[in-house]
Amino acid sequence: MDTKETIRHYIAQNMLFSETFGHADDASFLEQGIIDSIGFMELVSFVQKEYGIEVGPEELVRENFDSVNKLAAFIGTKQRAAQRAA
């Protein structure tokens, strides 16, 4: 599964209690009511565990976590930074 697929699957299963995500990849999680503030924190925890990346307090912003596209881009950026540091 690629990153976007993994994100869609996680949100569908754990936030929407559904088999399918059913939203565009650029749909705002917060504006569309896909997740709430507790769901936001669950999503952060999932990203840290699933991808082995650490999310700092300054990174907990909508620009990083408010759509499938934004979250996939954020994960990619963190992974590339970790690879360069290794």
pLDDT band for position 58 (cuts 50, 70, 90): very high
Closest CA to 64 of 17, 30, 19: 30
Q: For residues 72 and 4, is the Cβ–Cβ distance under 8 A?
A: yes
pLDDT of residue 82: 87
pLDDT at 83: 87
User: Which residue range(s) make up the domain with 52?
Assistant: 3-85
Domain containing 54 — which CATH number? Answer: 1.10.1200.10
R_g over Cα of the chain: 12
Q: Would you say 44 and 62 are in contact if contact means Cβ atoms under 8 Å apart?
A: no
Task: Write down the pTM of the prediction.
Answer: 0.93
pLDDT tens-place string over residues 5-16: 999 999 999 999
The count of domains in the chain is 1
